[in-house]
Amino acid sequence: MPSSQAAVLAGLGSWLPPRVVGNEEIAQRLDTSDEWIRTRTGIAERRVVDPGTSTVDLAAEAGRRALASAGEGGADAVVLATSTADQLCPASAPQVATQLGLNGVAAFDVNAVCSGFVYGLATGAGLIAAGIASRVLVIGADVFTSLVDPEDRGTVPIFGDGAGAVLLRAGDADELGALGAFDLHSEGELAELLWVEAGGAKNRRSEDPRDHYLVMQGQTVFRHACARMAESARAVLDAAGWGVGDIDRFIGHQANIRILQTCAKQLGLAEDVMYSNIEKVGNTSAASIPIALADAAKDGTLQPGHRVVMGAFGAGLTWGSTLLRWPEIIPG
């Protein structure tokens, strides 16, 4: 019998701003230290955009690299996962599509913050399953440093800027690279645990400038992130008929090394299964998983046939997971 149609990962690319900000640079202006940051987050440095560089710029470069990785064919839809769109209105995805020469294609933003890339993959897979598109460019891109209070030592060391992208094409469910089950969730009543209060329709212009920056209740977010990511990973494993021991690599949202370690412990994963590149890039929000995928493919951590689970947790609250068997792919 013919296998069912699926969304297949056919291209992969990432892009980081050239400016590197190490812990010592942050420690020089805030009450913190390299040791304090490394111990609590696992981060040594992060990338930060120069003035004038935007989310669209980062997204377009990552998208360009993913398209090149996939070869000929372009894309007939662009899904941009971001919570730092260049303008409040319109969405940034059409501008990204134009920069890539994809004029006239469907293009829109998805905002699920740090879970955005997993939500974007589900959206791209849905477009393919519905027959609306045959090749979908899914990009995770954020200039999250634009949302961080420069005087807040609790958030400044954590976040960096960057973009990563994949090209999904229509294919068969039994191919390497075919996306499997998805598990997506939200819990809006806990939005205030991790949010920017002002700037939207409800509170457009707050008199308190702090309302325009990210507020994070770190310890509570930590507990939810560990539990939800582990639960979601188990759900897609069950749907696929895989056991925890079948996982070759877990590529989780790079929020904090302790979250990744705790999630691995709750799942019963071996240390070498949980991949992390957070030391060099920090938390890049919706970009973190595709950047990690690209880095892991480049350094040989990901090999064709590996069974890979991707999981994320972010503001909203939102969380989700998906899985695939890794394809033979050269990232851009």
pLDDT tens figures, 23-55 = 999 999 999 999 999 999 999 999 999 999 999
| Cβ–Cβ < 8 Å for 6, 175 | yes
Which residues in the chain are classed under CATH 3.40.47.10?
A: 6-171, 178-326
Active site residue 114: yes
pLDDT tens figures, 252-270 = 999 999 999 999 999 999 9
Active site residue 253: yes
Residue in the block written with tokens 């989700």: 320
**Residue 208, pLDDT score:** 85
| Cβ–Cβ < 8 Å for 109, 314 | no
**Residue 110, pLDDT score:** 98
**Residue 1, pLDDT score:** 30
| Cβ–Cβ < 8 Å for 94, 107 | yes
**Which residues share a beta bridge with 46?**
21
How far, in Å, CA of 33 to CA of 267, rounded? 32
Among residues 23, 111, 256, 283, which one is catalytic? 283
Q: In the chain, where do the E strands start and end?
A: 5-15, 20-22, 45-47, 77-81, 106-110, 135-143, 161-172, 182-186, 194-195, 215-216, 249-252, 274-275, 307-314, 318-325
Provide the pLDDT confidence category of residue 80 given band limits of 50, 70 and 90: very high
Which superfamily does 178-326 belong to? Answer: Thiolase/Chalcone synthase (3.40.47.10)
pLDDT at position 295 over 60: yes
Provide the pLDDT confidence category of residue 162 given band limits of 50, 70 and 90: very high
Among residues 224, 253, 256, 277, which one is catalytic? 253
Work out the average pLDDT over 160-167. 98
How far, in Å, CA of 332 to CA of 330, rounded? 7
pLDDT tens figures, 164-220 = 999 999 999 999 999 999 999 999 999 999 999 999 999 898 888 888 999 999 899
**Which residues share a beta bridge with 186?**
318
Residue in the block written with tokens 């957070």: 278
pLDDT tens figures, 297-323 = 999 999 999 999 999 999 999 999 999
> Strand, helix or coil at 108?
strand
Who's near 129: CB < 8 A, 6+ residues apart? 5, 6, 7
Work out the average pLDDT over 78-86. 98
| Cβ–Cβ < 8 Å for 10, 70 | yes
pLDDT tens figures, 223-239 = 999 999 999 999 999 99
**Which residues share a beta bridge with 307?**
325
Active site residue 256: no
How far, in Å, CA of 312 to CA of 263, rounded? 11
pLDDT tens figures, 264-287 = 999 999 989 999 999 999 999 999
pLDDT at position 2 over 60: no
pLDDT tens figures, 108-146 = 999 999 999 999 999 999 999 999 999 999 999 999 999
Query: Is 6-171 assigned to CATH 3.30.465.10?
Result: no
Neighbours of 15 (CB within 10 A): 27
Provide the pLDDT confidence category of residue 60 given band limits of 50, 70 and 90: very high
What length is written for the chain?
A: 332
Among residues 114, 224, 226, 277, which one is catalytic? 114
Work out the average pLDDT over 60-82. 97
* Long-range contacts of residues 226-231, Cβ cutoff 8 Å, at least 24 apart: 226/259, 226/262, 226/263, 226/266, 227/266, 228/185, 228/313, 228/317, 228/319, 229/253, 229/259, 229/263, 229/311, 229/312, 229/313, 229/319, 229/321, 230/263, 230/266, 230/267
